[in-house]
Amino acid sequence: MASSHVDQLIKIARRIGRGEIPAHEHNECFTAGAFDLLLVHAHGAEAFQLLTDLCARFGTERDAGDDLRGYFSLLSQVARQTATTEMPKGMAEVISACPELSGELRDWYRAA
């Protein structure tokens, strides 16, 4: 996955964490997710690679000191799009580092 694509997703996640944009917007006829346009083609192996790249950024995101709600929302959405419960490298550490934010990920991966 292109680094610029990952960077765009991380920027949106940071804005969600700061409360600048909602994770989902309810319009008259549909609900649009903040990440939808960037994730529309991410499925299967491509989504798994994206998730691996996002997990690799966890240390940087945690150290930035921003609210990580947007980041974890992004991880949860991409995890579902992989259509597998195989954990990418680094996911177990991400889940255990923030148990208060990783509920959806624990549910997806059936992690304790």
CA–CA distance, 50 with 20 (Å, rounded to integer): 24
Which residues of the chain register pLDDT less than 50? 30-31, 112
pLDDT for the residue numbered 28: 56
Q: What's the chain's average pLDDT? A: 84
CA–CA distance, 31 with 29 (Å, rounded to integer): 7
On whether the CB atoms of residues 20 and 66 are closer than 8 A, the answer is no
* Helix, strand counts (H, E) of the chain: 7, 2
pLDDT for the residue numbered 90: 96
pLDDT for the residue numbered 103: 96
pLDDT for the residue numbered 15: 81
pLDDT for the residue numbered 107: 95
pLDDT for the residue numbered 29: 54
Count the Cβ atoms, other than its own, within 10 Å of residue 95. 22
